[in-house]
Amino acid sequence: MNKGYVDIHAHLLYETDDGSGSIEETVKILQALIDAGFSTSYATPHNIPGNDTSLLLTKSKDKIQKISEILEKKGMDYTLNTGAENYFDASLNIQDPDYFIPLGDSDIFLVEIPFIGESSHQIDALHKTGRRCIIAHVERYLDIVQNPDKVTILKQAGFMVQTNVGSLIGVYGFEIMKTANYLLKKDLIDVLATDIHDIHHADIILKKGLKRLETLVRPAKILQLLKENHAALIHAGYEKPEDKSYSNKR
């Protein structure tokens, strides 16, 4: 049933990164997403420094066009938008102003930071770029696994935080599962997404992961996490929820 869920993080583009291996696999993943209640995805291939960003975006649009043609032929109603999982490491000193690829036509960026190290240092540097960002799978960063309350620093800096549905059921290991469940319980997560890489992954996340989610929070909260919070951010204008004292505190 279409519940209008929106997935802002998935490696749906075939033959692009470590995600879907073929256009047929992408279509199977999209069918699984439709079956689970999704109606829209942002295809977010890895964007890493050194990439030709404009080429990545051109190829993404071309693949989305080809996928959409198949969906139409099959009568599958689904919206696919461009995007990227932009890797940001402050030590790489990224100078190219066009490096970051936004989610669709918005000025919101999905950003992944290094898994090891002090996340708040990365967040400080990202904050200085002035970009509006959603920080990908916060439960997977080592220092946040060690101290999940550190997520509040990311939120005080004005960023939204995203957690992978698969983390709730241990797809990335026990410690990350514990962290994701803690963050959910403490209401520190803004957005849930699939971060699907292949059809096998899709099956686990969309069947077991969403079922588990239903046992953890109320339906209204699920709708917030899988649709409303980021829809508000991307489409309905964005008031940067920055804690004004952030810069002073840091």
CB of 11 to Fe ion, least distance (A): 6
Q: What minimum distance in Å lies between the beta carbon of 9 and Fe ion?
A: 6
Site string for Fe ion, 83-122 (x = CB under 5 A): --x-------------------------------------
- For residue 205, the minimal CB distance to Fe ion (Å) is 12
- CB closer to Fe ion, 156 vs 161: 161
Residue indicated by tokens 């204008």: 237
Query: Using the rule CB under 5 A, is 139 a contact of Fe ion?
Result: no
- Could you tell me which residues come within 8 angstroms of residue 209 by beta carbon, excluding any fewer than 6 positions away? 165, 166, 168, 169, 171, 194
Retrieve residue 29's tokens: 């993943």
Q: Who's near 47: CB < 8 A, 6+ residues apart?
A: 53, 56, 84, 85, 86, 87, 99, 100, 101
Q: Three-class SS of residue 178?
A: helix
Q: Cβ distance 88 to 115 under 8 Å?
A: no
CA distance from start to end of the chain = 46
Least separation in angstroms between CB 14 and Fe ion: 15
**Footprint of Fe ion on residues 32-91 (CB under 5 A)?**
85
SS3 56: helix
**Residue of 13, 30, 195, 205 interacting with Fe ion (CB under 5 A):** 195
Q: Of 156 and 166, which CB lies nearer to Fe ion in the complex structure?
A: 166
Q: 190 or 195: whose CB is closer to Fe ion? A: 195
Q: What share of the chain is helix, strand, coil (3-state, %, to 5)?
A: 50, 15, 35
Distance in Å, CB of 166 to Fe ion, minimum: 11
Q: How far is the CB of 93 from Fe ion (least distance, A)?
A: 23
Task: Give the x-and-dash track for 144-183 against Fe ion (CB under 5 A).
Answer: ----------------------------------------
User: Which residues contact Fe ion by CB under 5 A?
Assistant: 85, 195
